[in-house]
Amino acid sequence: MIITQIYTNCLAQGAYYIESNGEVAIVDPLREVQDYIDRATKNNASIKYIFETHFHADFVSGHVTLAQKTGAKIVYGPKATTNFEAIIATDNQVFKIGDITITILHTPGHTLESSCLLLKDENGNDHALFSGDTLFLGDVGRPDLAQKGDFSEQDLAGFLYDSLRNKVMVLADDVIVYPAHGAGSACGKNLSKETVGTIGNQKETNYALRAGMTKNEFVAEVTNGLLPPPAYFPLNVKLNKEGYQDVEEVIKKSAKPLTVEQFEIIANETGAVILDVRHQTDFVKGFIPQAIFIGIDGGFAPWVGALIKDTNQSILLVTPEGREEDTIRRLSRVGFDNVLGYLEGSFNAWKKAGKEIDLLPTVSAQFLEDKIKENVLVFDVRKPGEYESDHMNVAENTPLDFLNNHLSEFPTHEAFYLHCAGGYRSVIAASILKARGFHNVIDVAGGYAAIRKTTIERTTAVCPSTIKQTK
């Protein structure tokens, strides 16, 4: 038996390759499926089943394409409905893969069709649980993504409590837990950086699996501090239910090199978003006016989804040379397939053509340390939990995720300063503000990590896990 976790850091997502005696099951595959096919081919094995633990909201899965290319059957748990051929399993239905089996455990709560997959080894012993978004390490799936009809998030949280107590926590402590996500995912609140655990460890460390916890306590704690889900989530669910275009076809259509002149004409005529994915240190030194920065080497895809929101939005790319197709692939992971092309020669071509450029003023934390004495305005674009745990006394919290809700707080003429944790998110925020006409924004290089090394007055640090956030 072979179990391989294929983890994608930018999505904080784990897909799984399971092989036994020449047969393969894939769990929660990414949209790019060739890796799974190549693994099976190398081992002279065939992909028999594609298991989806639920309809994913944070990424476009590869189930449809993988089924088309291999003939494997797509399997969902009870309550799922699709526009393509799929097996809708019953609770406790068993699927055989070589010498092992996978049992569907219907665990509604995160979504109504959410299911866990219990793998039994060659001897029929419980070996591993592929827990989807039902159970993470350190957390559980948020219950506010599938509100339908008479079901509130409190109702769904109650379903999740029952699912965990009746289906998951009854398993032996040594059963391995393979979740769908780790730290950085918006599908939960306090996910661990670890990506593999055990049932026993989670009973000891996961707040939601505490012994003696009542349903009312569980509902209150799981729903407390939930930030609104990213706007693109429902659009990804729709694609996962209805189907989508093969990512290779998307690349063929989108990977068009554009001259400076072509790029400029398309930008002016289409209303496309100019998305600059270079490193933030390159972006601040010069960029195309109105361009939005979201660096390819940061938490790229989720931030695109959170900030651009509409998956049908047309996009023009400015990328590091050689990263054009990589960028298009990563956009496709979250359903953004409408790329009109990329600037050939990257930003240097624009600059050499003598076109207008914009700059983002940047200062060091030490410079800010001196300016603080002049009562300058400082805005912290980290998440509310980060801000509440430790922040500058003078800084206001304007989280990047909800920047549009805070536009009225930024001055239109007076210079103001932005920072995040390390410098990535603040440049994203600054680029958005500049595109909205706030040309008085200044970025603090190195973010809060650099600010901590100064004498700027800060609040007393508080462990984030002890903070009761409000919605």
Which tokens go with 38?
Answer: 């190549």
Query: Residue 134's closest CA among 160, 104, 172?
Result: 160
Lowest model confidence (mean pLDDT) among 96-100, 322-326, 438-442, 463-467: 463-467
- On whether the CB atoms of residues 5 and 196 are closer than 8 A, the answer is yes
Question: pLDDT over 90 for what percent of the chain?
Answer: 85
pLDDT of 470 higher than 90: no
Question: Mean pLDDT across the stretch 228-242?
Answer: 90
Lowest model confidence (mean pLDDT) among 51-60, 133-142, 146-155, 403-412: 146-155
pLDDT of 62 higher than 60: yes
What average pLDDT does the structure give for the chain? 93
pLDDT of 45 higher than 80: yes
Q: 12: which residues sit within 8 A by CB, 6+ positions away?
A: 181, 182, 183, 184, 185, 191, 302
pLDDT of 298 higher than 60: yes
Phi, psi angles (nearest 5°) of residue 393: -60, -35
180-230 per-position pLDDT tens digit: 998 878 777 778 889 999 999 999 999 999 999 999 999 999 998 888 888
pLDDT of 355 higher than 60: yes
Q: What is the DSSP letter of 168?
A: I
Question: Mean pLDDT across the stretch 172-182?
Answer: 96
pLDDT score recorded for residue 463: 56
d(CA 266, CA 451) in angstroms, rounded, equals: 41
Query: Residue 287's closest CA among 350, 226, 215?
Result: 350
The pLDDT-based confidence of 148 (bands split at 50, 70, 90) is: low
d(CA 81, CA 96) in angstroms, rounded, equals: 23
pTM listed for this prediction:
0.88
Q: What distances in angstroms separate CA 372 from CA 375, 454, 455, one per listed residue? A: 5, 11, 10
Question: Mean pLDDT across the stretch 385-408?
Answer: 93
- On whether the CB atoms of residues 30 and 16 are closer than 8 A, the answer is no
Question: Mean pLDDT across the stretch 129-144?
Answer: 94
Q: Which fold has domain 2-234?
A: Metallo-beta-lactamase; Chain A (3.60.15)
Give me the residue spans of the domains in the chain.
Answer: 2-234, 245-352, 362-466
- The DSSP result for 25-75, as a single string, is EEES-BS--HHHHHHHHHTT-EEEEEE-SS--SSS-BSHHHHHHHH-PEEE
pLDDT of 43 higher than 80: yes
Query: Residue 316's closest CA among 307, 305, 328?
Result: 328
> Using only C-alpha atoms, what is the Rg of the chain?
24
pLDDT of 246 higher than 80: yes
The pLDDT-based confidence of 150 (bands split at 50, 70, 90) is: confident
pLDDT of 469 higher than 50: no
pLDDT score recorded for residue 299: 86
pLDDT score recorded for residue 192: 84
Q: What is the DSSP letter of 195?
A: -
d(CA 276, CA 360) in angstroms, rounded, equals: 13
- On whether the CB atoms of residues 426 and 447 are closer than 8 A, the answer is yes
pLDDT score recorded for residue 231: 84
Q: Strand 362-363 relative to strand 441-444: parallel, antiparallel, unpaired?
A: parallel
Question: Which segments of 255-352 does DSSP mark as H helices, in order?
Answer: 260-270, 280-283, 300-308, 324-332, 346-352
d(CA 294, CA 313) in angstroms, rounded, equals: 15
Question: Mean pLDDT across the stretch 425-436?
Answer: 96
Q: Which fold has domain 245-352?
A: Oxidized Rhodanese; domain 1 (3.40.250)
Question: Mean pLDDT across the stretch 417-423?
Answer: 96
pLDDT of 468 higher than 50: no
Looking at the structure, give the CATH architecture of the domain made up of residues 362-466.
3-Layer(aba) Sandwich (3.40)
d(CA 418, CA 249) in angstroms, rounded, equals: 40
The pLDDT-based confidence of 467 (bands split at 50, 70, 90) is: very low
The residue ranges of DSSP E strands in 348-448, in sequence order, are 362-363, 377-380, 395-397, 416-419, 441-444
pLDDT of 315 higher than 60: yes
d(CA 259, CA 342) in angstroms, rounded, equals: 9
The pLDDT-based confidence of 462 (bands split at 50, 70, 90) is: low
d(CA 147, CA 153) in angstroms, rounded, equals: 6
pLDDT of 289 higher than 60: yes
pLDDT score recorded for residue 147: 53
Q: Do domains 245-352 and 362-466 have the same CATH topology?
A: yes
- The DSSP result for 102-159, as a single string, is EEEEE-TTSSTT-EEEEEE-TTS-EEEEEEETTB-SS-B--S-S---TT--HHHHHHH
Question: Cα 364 to chain center, whole Å?
Answer: 30
